[in-house]
Amino acid sequence: MTRKLEGKVALVSGSGRGIGREIALKLASEGAKVVINDLDAAPAEQTVADIKAQGGQAVACIGSVTDADFADRFVKTALDSFGGLDIIVNNAGYTWDNVVQKMSDEQWEAMLAVHLTAPFRILRAASGFIREAAKKEAEAGLDVFRKVVNISSTSGVYGNAGQANYAAAKAGINGLTKAMAKEWGRYKVNVNSVAFGLIMTRLTQPLTAGDASVDIQGRTIAVGVQPDRLKAAEATIPLGRGGTPEEAAGAVYMFCIPESNYVSGQVLVCGGGRP
């Protein structure tokens, strides 16, 4: 059976762990060469090793997507390592919740930086290659489509109390998606976003004892959900449970394959039917 992404080159930000890792593994299993990114070297290198162990190709680009030089470095890694760029998945991110009266400027700006400004910079950094590649392909009579999948959230579609910063950033990425679909349609680039609902990762793990946290560039950010709140959330999902990272990756994959060549500017909610 022919793999649907054979020979394609993909960037997946935040792909050392969780949903991003599963996206990278899925794309690689279908033949894509993948640039893996994480804040920390160990999980990124582990994902690279796992892809190679399965016969795939991958390299790591370590660092924060919010660094001023990251976008150019990310794109350059793909071009230098694999000679092209066909798929961009803007996945990296985290949550830093609070009600509005207690939310600091730092919390607000951090969410906009990682969920909206960083994807914008990555797309801007890729624009030169995409324009030139599309021009050459058109002159040669080649019909080549490229894919951008931006990761949003149901918080950005419907809103969520305690997440004014995150919801605003994720709503913004949906706006960026729709704008870029119009700008890049002439280059045969499909630009879509996937809005995840409750997906079971370390950020949504049940809190059973004490507080869980992650370190984001020197910031200690609390993560996890109280078990009673998690149970209540799952009760509102028609499918009766939170999704798995593998299922989340499947939704992204659908926007990366040739079957989606005439789908662009869309926001797909991956939430088990929960509105």
**258 burial via Cβ count (<10 Å: 0-12, 13-18, 19+):** exposed
Phi, psi of 71 (to 5 degrees): -55, -45
Phi, psi of 146 (to 5 degrees): -115, 160
Catalytic annotation present for 262: no
Round to whole Å and give the CA distance between 118 and 71.
7
Phi, psi of 110 (to 5 degrees): -60, -40
And the tokens for 185? 């349609």
Number of H helices, E strands in the chain: 9, 9
Q: Which residues contact 1 (CB under 8 A, 6 or more apart)?
A: none
β-strand partners of 35: 11, 59
And the tokens for 174? 């949906």
Catalytic residue among 94, 158, 166, 262: 166
β-strand partners of 191: 148
Residue in 142, 226, 145, 144 with CA at minimum distance from that of residue 181 = 145
Phi, psi of 190 (to 5 degrees): -85, 125
**Residues with catalytic function:** 166
